[in-house]
Chains A and B, each alone.
Chain A
Amino acid sequence: MTDSNDPLRVIPTDAPPVGACRKTGDFVPPLTLMGEHDLCPGCGEPLALRQILDSIEDTGLGQKAIGVIGIGCYTALTSLMDIDLIQALHGRAPSVATGAKRMRPDELLFTLQGDGDMVNEGLQEVIHTAARGENVTCILLNNGVFGETGGHMTATTVLGQRTKNSIEGRDAGEHGYPILIGDLLARLQGTAYCARASVHDAKGVARTRRFLDRAFESQMKGQGFSFVEILTMCPTGWFIPTSEGPDYLDQELGAVHEVGELKKDGVLIED
């Protein structure tokens, strides 16, 4: 904007400089009431939520979306989400979303659940919701651990993973095998779209956004049940330094829960 002939602009010294000393909390993304959260440093859940809200906003569904939220660390994020929400019980978001969708068929209905919520407590709900071909989108934030209680084993915890109640690492003989929920849901006839993404690097974040866009599009086209699993970092619950979270996700969780699209337009995507 400045012209080379303009005199040098003098910044007034009797007021704080504009644009200086901005905190992260000063930046507020769309559909968000506050720019800061109380989750741990290195947590992947706010990254995933940002992609969800951006996807809703950019696809023009900001005033047509209803979220149904499970119980976990991410529940704390509801106070900053500027969309209509229903808070469900632990594990019960898919049934609540079902009832809401039947009464509001034109609205985008999605659930936000963790692995403890969806794959432990409420496994039968998400399976039956998918099998009914319910026209909702279930979003799983999968970090393979009960983060809110401080790092306990869930149904998606991978073999060898150390948690507070599998202190020597998850052992198949003692604790059983992890459930690959995305693979399970993809094989149900009522599932139209199914994908697994991660937020451990920029490429993963972009892919997460792409999969969310496709899931929401599938729902708005009335194709049936859609599912997006997002692998998220939990350095606190993994008992590792914050900076090692992305690599741990990629090499441990991601090696078992493989990232990629599993079903599109009702058709399974084979390797």
Chain B
Amino acid sequence: MSAPERRLMEGSEAIAEAAIAAGCRFFAGYPMTPFTEVLECFAKRLPEEGGACINSESELEAIGQAWGAAATGARAATGSTGQGLSLMQESMSEITRAEIPIVIFNMARGQGDYYQATRGGGHGDYRHIVLAPQSVGEAVEITQLAFHLADKWRHPVVIYGDYLIAHTAEAVGIDRLDFGPLPDKDWAVDGSLGGTGRSRNVNPIGMEKGSKGIDPNRFWQNLADKEDEIAVAEQRFEAIDTEDAELLIVAFGTLARFARAAIRDLRAEGIRVGLFRPISLWPFPSAALRRAAEGCTRVAVLEQNAGQMIDDVQLSLLGSVPVVPIGGISTDAAGFGIGALLDSDLIAGRARDAHAGRPVPRGVVA
């Protein structure tokens, strides 16, 4: 197979094209910066591909429409910023329980939605898969992977992007990626089984046709068992220069790209520093992080918020290595997440302090 033609594309367009290449035929959304252009691209492209894109009256409706489309077996997606995802949380929790594969794009305003993404803001016992690309190129691959994982596990997948992912233009080539075989969607509704005694009910409450009542304990436990399997099977990460590292930086998403540049400079100075980048935020790659942190003097958590992922780092390391935060709240005047922390020199300075055991400034990074 020849390599796909590479073209300069904004992230929003690349994501929409990648989704369409993966077979996505339905999208619904409501405009909100910096997600808006993702919706624009789907609105333009899906009708050309025989699909549908709905400009929903709210994020509540957007996720409902994607829910209905996905329940028929179509590959379907929705998205917003973290603010819009707040409105979708009730449905996201129910969709997880109804085991409907759906992809949800969060073009977040920075990294303050880490808890929302990984803990979920909805009710009940549930987790969903969260993937965080660091670049437009990786977003193209992760978007396609997300549809595959959603179908593989019958589970929602959130893609945690941001302003930089949505609005940076990179040269990317888009071809359909093959991640292997998937089970038939015999659970999906198509209307054909009415009156046969085998009709379906895609539902989030454990209702079964032909039997009265439900068994909530068994229903919830089945979901928990599946999530335990996902937690083992779907951990993804990247480790750079971790073998001999004295200081290990942990960072995700686009911020990790700035950390990568900082590490190159620090290595040139002879400072032994490495980068561990979780790609799946849930399941968090705990075992790999523990291995990467072996022999390190310190682990520095770089995140663009008041300190959220640091919880997962601490839970992974269980006190085996001292953990220090080197990021912080850092955004622009509009609050879209373009803060002073997105600076490899500044990050290198903070890493130098952390490596030397000096205190790293806390508070807003402006």
Chain A residues engaging chain B, CB cutoff 8 angstroms = 30-31, 33-34, 38, 56-57, 62-66, 68, 75-76, 78-89, 92, 94-104, 107-108, 124-125, 128
Contacts and interface: CB of A to CB of B under 8 A. Distances in A.
Can you list the 10 inter-chain pairs with the closest CB atoms, starting with the nearest? A95-B64, A99-B68, A87-B203, A99-B69, A96-B68, A99-B65, A100-B68, A84-B189, A83-B194, A102-B52
B170 interface: no
B90 interface: yes
A127 B271 CA distance: 63
Contacts of B209: 33, 78-82
Interface string B187-216: 001111111110111111101111110000
A96 B191 contact: no
Contacts of B207: 75, 78-79, 87
A96 B64 contact: yes
Interface of B: 25-26, 28, 52, 54, 56-58, 60-74, 76, 90-91, 94, 98, 189-197, 199-205, 207-212
Given A82-B199, A92-B91, A99-B65, A38 B193 contact: no
Contacts of B62: 95
A128 B195 CA distance: 32
Given A82-B195, A83-B194, A87-B98, A96 B71 contact: yes
A107 B68 CA distance: 13
A68 B201 CA distance: 9
Nearest to A30: B195
Nearest to A31: B195
A251 B58 CA distance: 38
A36 B62 CA distance: 37
User: Which of A83, A94, A97, A107 has the most chain B CB atoms inside 10 A of its CB?
Assistant: A83
Nearest to B201: A85
B196 A100 contact: no
Contacts of A81: 199, 209
A162 to B, nearest CB: 31
Nearest to B202: A86
Contact of A79 (B25, B70, B74, B212): B212
A98 B28 CA distance: 11
Contacts of B195: 30-31, 57, 62-63, 82-83
Contacts, number: 166
A97 B56 CA distance: 13
A87 B52 contact: no
8 contacts: A94-B64, A95-B63, A98-B65, A98-B68, A100-B72, A103-B26, A103-B68, A128-B57
A81 B189 CA distance: 14
A267 B357 CA distance: 78
A84 B195 CA distance: 9
A89 B91 contact: yes
Contacts of B196: 82
Contact of B202 (A33, A87, A103, A125): A87
Contacts of A31: 194-195
Given A86-B68, A95-B56, A103-B26, 7 more contacts: A62-B194, A79-B207, A84-B201, A95-B67, A99-B54, A100-B69, A125-B57
Nearest to A95: B64
Contacts of A124: 57-58, 61
Nearest to B205: A87
A66 B190 CA distance: 7
A88 B98 CA distance: 10
A95 B190 contact: no
B43 to A, nearest CB: 13
B115 to A, nearest CB: 23
B203 A99 contact: no
Nearest to B204: A87
B64 A82 contact: no
A33 B52 contact: no
B75 to A, nearest CB: 10
Contacts of A76: 212
Given A125-B64, A128-B61, A99 B28 contact: yes
A97 B28 CA distance: 13
Contacts of B70: 99
Contacts of A79: 201, 207-212
